[in-house]
Amino acid sequence: MDNYSIKISPAAERDLKKLRNKLLNFNGIIKAIDDLSIEPRPSGVRKIKGFDITFRIKFYSHRIIYDIYDKDKKIIILRILKRNESTYRFK
């Protein structure tokens, strides 16, 4: 099985830049993103209501929100946000 390629959106790049010095387990969030290339729908993944290809996974108090393009074997990381009432209002 071919791995998926991972692209990080400009918004997710900004999120990662902010988290770099704030998150104790920053390398863990990078690993979680990298692991999506092997298993784009890991245990605990949730589809975001109202979107056909948008999913989220938990990483402690943060959510990694991403689109899966199965035909192209591509994942686009949209945002990495701390969980709150506005987490899923990103598009």
Chain segment 7-45, per-residue pLDDT in tens: 999 999 999 999 998 888 899 999 999 999 999 999 999
pTM of the model: 0.88
Mean pLDDT value across residues 45-49: 94
CATH topology (fold) of 5-82 = YaeB-like fold (3.30.2310)
| 86 pLDDT tier (thresholds 50, 70, 90) | low
Q: Where are the domains of the chain?
A: 5-82
Distance between CA atoms of residues 21 and 57, nearest Å: 21
